[in-house]
Amino acid sequence: MIELTAKGSNNSYYSIMIILLIAYALVYFHRTMTGIMKPEVDEFSRYYGINANILLSTMSSAYFYAYATSQLITGPLLDSYGVKRIGATMLAVLSLGTILMLLKNEFGLIVGRTLIGFAAAVAFLSYMRSSSLYFSKSMQAKLTSFAIMIGNFSTIVSTYPLRIFLQRFGYTTTLLILASISSLLSYLVFKKSSDVGSIEKTSKLRERFAEMKKIASEKHIWGVGIAALAGYGTSIAYQATWGQRNLTEMFGFSIEKASIMLMIIAITATIFSPIVGFISDNVIKRRKPILISTPLSSLIGWFLIYISFYLHNSILLYASMISLGLSIALQIVAPVMAREEVQSKYSGTATAMFNVQVFFGIAILQTISGFLSISSMIIVSIGVSLFGILASILFTRETYKPSL
């Protein structure tokens, strides 16, 4: 184990893990909330005379471009300076970005979303770093599944419940509450975390970036990232950007009904994430078969959406939402596989490299969704899923090794 300046009791470790889970839930809420805000974005677009679909896709993708870029900086910083300092700082920046969105103009909306995305990277990276430092390898998939489960529960809240909240209390009140939660979490992370990074002489930022370059040269990390993008990425892009547009324009649903349909994806992911983690850690004791099933489940979901429209079959449409939710749950092994073969002191760096691929991919999908038709986006998602199946089979290796 790496020598850390982080010291504390087991209770303090559990406390910071819970705080980081709450932070990740907040980040997940921000990640998908734009998919429900189409009426508000339409109103802002009419006021400023700009294209609503392009503004929505730009707001959504700004988060993910910034989130992916931040991995290259936040991962090494966390490994060197720890969760206490970097985590607290980034969560304060997230609060600032939320406040900027209150301006309700192009600058505030896009710059605010960019700051939120850049700062949001710290939540999952901090959680992954802490899990690697404080818990055994046999716990890693379960711990990741807890994060995904909490995140997807947050996504449930950011669908139909958020739509109702926005209608009753308004946009400004919603963002003020989110900013306040971010500020409180920033304080709690600084107060409760004892992780201030490595004190080894070799633990310098230059070494971190060298390790990042080494990790990026391995085809395994690319295979894992592409598989996660094909499953998790295409589904999140759908939830956060063009899903509501698909369901209202292609299927004729109301805003409320579309929000409920998107909630099915999140509910499915929430239910199955801990089950997948348990199966991987305790039943089959393998990662790769589950990783392969991630883009496969996604592929089935996209085919079902396409077929359900032409057959006018609502059962197939519901099945497609469940299949997309299952693909999100199955990918919980992906970040584990990305970091499982590196030393724990580089866990943040390995997770960051994985996230760069996945979230840049999501950002690109969101960007093109503002310019392509719904049917074209479904075809693109099918293509990405097929590529993900091939990458998971050909480029990745089994990483589960029981603790001795």
3-state secondary structure of 198: strand
Radius of gyration of the chain (CA): 20
43, with CB counted inside 10 A (0-12, 13-18, 19+), is middle
- Among 101-105, 136-140, 152-156, whose mean pLDDT is lowest? 136-140
Q: What is the pTM of this model?
A: 0.79
Tell me: the pLDDT tens digits for 337-395?
Answer: 987 766 666 666 777 788 888 999 999 999 999 889 999 999 999 999 999 999 999 99
- Tell me which DSSP letter residue 287 carries: S
pLDDT at 402 over 80: no
**Helix-strand-coil split of the chain, %, nearest 5:** 85, 0, 15
Tokens of 264: 């099915």
φ and ψ at residue 148, rounded to 5 degrees: -65, -40
Tens digits of per-residue pLDDT, 56-97? 888 988 999 999 899 888 877 887 788 899 999 999 999 999
Q: Give the least confident one: 57-66, 133-142, 229-238.
A: 133-142
Q: Which pLDDT belongs to residue 148?
A: 80
Residue 4, beta-bridge partner list: 198
SS3 194: coil
* Higher pLDDT, residue 183 or 201: 183
Tracing tokens 């605010």 back to the chain, one arrives at 112
Residues 6+ positions from 82 with CB-CB distance below 8 Å: 4, 5, 6, 193, 195, 196, 197
In whole angstroms, what is the distance from residue 389 CA to residue 385 CA?
Answer: 6
Please tell me the predicted confidence (pLDDT) of residue 5.
38
pLDDT tens string 187-225: 999 998 887 776 454 456 666 667 777 777 889 989 999
Look at domain 10-394 and name its CATH class: mainly alpha
Please state the domain extents for the chain.
Answer: 10-394
Length of the chain: 404
DSSP H helical ranges for 246-346: 255-278, 288-311, 314-330, 333-339
